[in-house]
Structure 1
């Protein structure tokens, strides 16, 4: 499942314009570049790249790299 994590790291890196990898622990609360607009871009990019759809109820909880990875793995 490293491939899923790697894709999410790449998406976060591209959208937020920072380096994201397994050693980072970023979230909306800790990264000022992770705005609500960036959040939408992140969600849409992950859905498109992985072919998944996050539920509306999930969106408010997907505010960290770990929560995004966990939920994406759950949906695949």
Structure 2
């Protein structure tokens, strides 16, 4: 199973080490609204889960995404 950092790296086209614990839509200019939806689809496919609208809206940082994944039983 891919790591959260590797999924984010692939979608945002950044090196894995550029995705730190503080990475967010505010700190990464590549992470715009279109890339956000690409990221959500990639996460759902990578981890075999479905995210609801509230979860998607809340997932604006590495930490927030990791928290949602943990609640769904996935280790980021």
Smaller-chain TM-score bracket: 0.7 to 0.9
Q: Give the gaps of 5 or more residues in structure 1.
A: none
Higher relative contact order (CA 8 A, sep 6+): 1
Q: Give the gaps of 5 or more residues in structure 2.
A: none
Q: Which residue of 2 aligns with 1:8?
A: 4
**Partner Cα distance (1:65, 1:57) in 2:** 16
Q: CA RMSD in A?
A: 1.7
Indicate which of 31, 37, 40 corresponds to 1:43: 40
Instruction: Return structure 1 stretches of 4+ with deviation > 6 angstroms.
Output: none
TM-score, structure 2 normalization: 0.82
Number of matched pairs: 71
Q: Which residue of 2 aligns with 1:28?
A: 25
